[in-house]
């Protein structure tokens, strides 16, 4: 194949691709932090490039991806169902396992019905575009996950974005909206970069006052926080007040896929209308069995949620004590603000050299000057893991002039 660097005869439509050089530039500096292949993992530690490092950037919140019980559950169904469904749920891709999981998730989330999707991304993208149609209005938090954003973009509804968690602006926008239009407020329950909770009580109040539906994406909340791990609304005892709640299986449930729960009439409408559901192959049996086992473990072992909360509180407190800006995190997602993008990449690499793996997050995913490393924790991290992570952060933070030895921040706080 011809060397693409020497290829100057490409169609204009590909010009943007050939002009995209920043990734290669970062790679040449030895600072590229993305698409790192994991060669082995036991959950809390991973082998990358031949070395073992502590995983402090995973969404494996309950630590179940390597639990012998979830592994055995996945293996056991392959002999019965094979490796895949080779079709959509709408046609030949529905297994009794899918129906069992939908029933158990609806019961767990205390809603009438549940529909499964093949990924968490598809769940939001595929549900929002169907439930909000022409002449409807979507009110969307500016910090919502990309899958929500795409769902609003492909919907025929008009989307109105409000400042992150700004209930005053949301009220003003609702007041100005056509009172006859259908309305739905869509927001992350836990925001994936900041680790902050949505203001669910205020959202419920506004939804009721302005006759709007309320949709929570609880990908980072279900199996993480709230009553029995039921998510952000349950933190406030308001699950009955939220119309639709989505979740994912790629985090606490140690698998892949997603789901939406709500009133049966609404869920059945989405089940029959969503292109993402109708035209995608269904979750493979091993994935479904893993989720079923994870849901069982979540309910039988509440210590995992308790340990996760204990770890989250400890790490937030200790990182702040070291002088780091961790924004207003309230969950196992704890961002550590570094500032400059290039310094963030160097910070990431130095942490990796110290034996800690985190995630580098740079603009436009975060505001300019607020590049950060996103840390996240799991119930199976040991105290030794946590203290090793803190030691690495202290050493690297001092090296890069982000904190001093007295636990003071040396960069401007958000």
Instruction: State the catalytic residues.
Output: 192, 220, 251
Max intra-chain CA distance, the chain:
63
Tokens of 157: 């509804």
Q: How far apart are CA 293 and CA 114, in angstroms?
A: 18
H/E stretch holding 312 reads: helix 303-321
**What are the Cα distances from residue 333, in Å, to 156, 222, 229, 409?**
33, 14, 15, 20
Tokens of 312: 């989250």
Tell me whether strands 51-55 and 113-117 are parallel, antiparallel or unpaired: unpaired
- How many CA atoms lie within 13 Å of 207's alpha carbon, on the beta-carbon side? 24
Q: How far apart are CA 336 and CA 315, in angstroms?
A: 11
Query: Among the residues of 29-164, which ranges form H helices?
Result: 68-81, 96-108, 120-131, 146-154
Q: How far apart are CA 217 and CA 247, in angstroms?
A: 6
For 40, other C-beta atoms within 10 Å of its C-beta total 9
Q: How far apart are CA 353 and CA 349, in angstroms?
A: 6
Tell me whether strands 51-55 and 45-48 are parallel, antiparallel or unpaired: antiparallel
H/E stretch holding 116 reads: strand 113-117
Helix (H, G, I), strand (E, B) or coil at 179: coil
Residue 357 φ then ψ, to 5°: -105, 120
Tokens of 359: 């995630």
Q: How far apart are CA 52 and CA 37, in angstroms?
A: 13
Q: How far apart are CA 79 and CA 313, in angstroms?
A: 43
């Amino acid at each position: 194949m011809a060397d693409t660097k020497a290829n100057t005869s490409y169609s204009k439509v590909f010009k943007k691709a050939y002009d995209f050089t920043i990734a290669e530039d970062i790679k040449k500096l030895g600072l590229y932090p993305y698409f790192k292949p994991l060669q082995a993992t036991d959950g809390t530690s991973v082998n990358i490039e031949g070395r073992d490092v502590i995983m402090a950037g995973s969404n494996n919140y309950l630590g179940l991806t390597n639990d012998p019980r979830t592994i055995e559950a996945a293996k056991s169904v392959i002999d019965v169902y094979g490796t895949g469904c080779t079709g959509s749920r709408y046609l030949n891709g529905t297994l009794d396992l899918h129906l069992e999981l939908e029933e158990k998730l609806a019961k767990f989330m205390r809603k009438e019905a549940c529909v499964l999707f093949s990924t968490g991304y598809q769940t939001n993208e595929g549900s929002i575009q169907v439930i909000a149609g022409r002449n409807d209005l979507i009110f969307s938090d500016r910090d919502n996950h990309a899958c929500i954003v795409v769902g609003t973009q492909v919907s025929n509804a008009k989307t109105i974005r409000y400042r992150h968690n700004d209930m005053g602006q949301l009220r003003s926008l609702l007041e100005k909206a056509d009172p006859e239009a259908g309305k739905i407020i869509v927001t992350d329950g836990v925001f994936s970069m900041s680790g902050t909770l949505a203001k669910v009580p205020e959202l419920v109040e506004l939804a009721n006052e302005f006759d709007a539906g309320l949709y929570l994406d609880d990908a980072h909340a279900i199996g993480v926080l709230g009553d029995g791990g039921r998510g952000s609304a349950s933190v406030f005892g308001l699950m009955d007040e939220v119309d639709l709640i989505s979740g994912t299986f790629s985090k606490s449930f140690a698998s892949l896929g997603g789901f939406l729960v709500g009133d049966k009439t609404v869920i059945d409408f989405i089940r029959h209308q969503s292109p993402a559901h109708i035209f995608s192959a269904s979750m493979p049996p091993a994935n479904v069995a893993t989720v079923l086992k994870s849901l069982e473990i979540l309910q039988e072992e509440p210590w995992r949620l308790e340990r996760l909360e204990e770890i989250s509180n400890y790490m937030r407190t200790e990182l702040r004590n070291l002088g780091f800006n961790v924004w207003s995190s309230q969950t196992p997602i704890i961002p550590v603000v570094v500032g400059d993008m290039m310094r963030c990449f160097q910070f990431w690499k130095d942490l990796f050299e110290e034996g800690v793996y985190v995630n580098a997050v740079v603009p436009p995913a975060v505001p300019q000057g607020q590049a950060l490393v996103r840390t996240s924790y799991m119930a199976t991290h040991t105290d030794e893991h946590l203290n090793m992570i803190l030691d690495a952060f202290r050493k690297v933070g001092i090296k890069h002039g982000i904190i001093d030895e007295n636990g003071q921040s040396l960069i401007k706080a958000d």
